[in-house]
Amino acid sequence: MDVTIFGSGYVGLVTGACLAEVGNKVLCVDIDPAKIAVLEGGGIPIHEPGLEELVKKNRDTGRLSFSTDAAAGVAHGLFQFIAVGTPPDEDGSADLRHVLTVARTIGEHMDTYRILVDKSTVPVGTAGKVAETVREALATRGSDIEFDVVSNPEFLKEGAAIEDFMRPDRIIVGTDNPRTAELLRALYTPFNRNHDRVMLMDVRSAELTKYAANAMLATKISFMNELSNIAEALGADIEKVRIGIGSDPRIGYRFIYPGCGYGGSCFPKDVRALGRTARAIGYEARLLNAVESINRRQQGVLFEKIADHFVGGLTGRTIALWGLAFKPNTDDMREAPSRRLIESLWNAGARVRAFDPVAREEAFRIYGKRDDLILTQDAMSALEGADALVIVTEWTEFRSPDFAAIARKLNHPLLFDGRNMFDPEVVTAAGLTYFSIGRRPAGTGGA
């Protein structure tokens, strides 16, 4: 099938590459000529494992191409995927300007039946706004061309997006038109060979499903972080509690890891947007408000532990950070806990030496060149002249470090673990004092 993707960011590029991989002819359209030049030159503008190879393979076969020509994009595909950004407004609601601009563009250029597919994460009711925008553009032209608008939310995890698309848990299709539903089912047939994963529903339910899924996962994280603070105050071990409750199949082990808060492009934005949607209909979503409030507090926990330990203040101290991205296998630092920690340390007069396997360039893009920020090329170099080490992101390469070497290299043998990656007994046996989440400090080191 011929498919057009408006937006060549994370969702658009993964969607385009995966649809091309199964034989469709995909045209990705973006307004950013620099991004298109990177893609046409063989690179990709984001970090996602396996994506660069998949894009190159399908570009070389001619199944995947890129353009800034919106009219050509509208002419190309029966399916017009809208995969542009929906950044949060100041009030927390999703900004639909880019989505509606694409809808207007499609209405201005379409000359035959088209299916507009909302792939961007959008509030309930957006499909109606998209349809109205297309109708207005058609009316301006004096045209009456048939079209449909479908909600087809993405469920891609950064770092595992290709696997998620190629072997999805579910494919949500929201439409009230049986014919359109069958066309979407046909498009997704290659991803249903094991069993049918397509779930058909009305448009508004499909739109709400995406927000509900992310809000549920964020709720599990914040609930576990709330428990971790209670456990630490009571002298309990949250890791033992986690294992105890996770053994109940109604709860399970996924998304109940305590830590220093969630970040990224989805959970913070979507929790706020769903809360804003609720307020717009006169409902106060108290649980969603609590989830967000707990996460804001949890992102400050590491700094509080560091500041509490250095009773003389942090002015003149150097703190080493391992991990900048909000999660492993991505360079995404949007609302990452590392940013909250770094900026709090700067405000307290400390310097930061940081290492991340892939987010170094993103950190430099965000913060630029600063005397109080050194971005190192390897993990151990970050420890030079540092008074403590902080683990912020649970990268695989951090799982089994040489604790004795860490203790020797630091000015003070202090390890603050924001992801509970290590066994306290192993860490303290190497001479380090170990601070984690939801557990008592272990060891006797000081500063």
Q: Structure tokens of 309?
A: 């330990």
Q: Are strands 25-29 and 114-118 parallel, antiparallel or unpaired?
A: unpaired
Residue type, 397: E
How far is 432 from 447, CA to CA, in rounded Å?
Answer: 12
The sheet carrying 147-151 orders its strands as 64-67, 25-29, 2-6, 79-82, 114-118, 147-151, 171-174, 198-201
385, containing H or E segment: none
Residue type, 187: L
Q: Which of 442, 345, 424, 441 is nearest to 387 (CA)?
A: 345
Q: Known catalytic residue: 266?
A: yes
Helix (H, G, I), strand (E, B) or coil at 384: coil
How far is 396 from 35, CA to CA, in rounded Å?
Answer: 30
How far is 75 from 71, CA to CA, in rounded Å?
Answer: 6
Q: Which of 147, 144, 153 is nearest to 172 (CA)?
A: 153
Residue type, 253: Y
Q: Name the phi and psi angles at 438, rounded to 5.
A: 75, 15
Cβ-Cβ contacts under 8 Å for 321 (sequence gap 6 or more): 338, 341, 342, 352, 353, 354, 355, 382, 389, 390, 392
CA distances from 313 to 147, 306, 309 (A): 63, 10, 9
How far is 395 from 373, CA to CA, in rounded Å?
Answer: 21
Q: What's the Rg (C-alpha) of the chain?
A: 24
Q: Which of 75, 125, 130 is nearest to 97 (CA)?
A: 130
Q: Structure tokens of 129?
A: 């706004």
Q: Name the active-site residue from 18, 28, 260, 266.
A: 266
Residue type, 115: I
What are the catalytic residues?
266
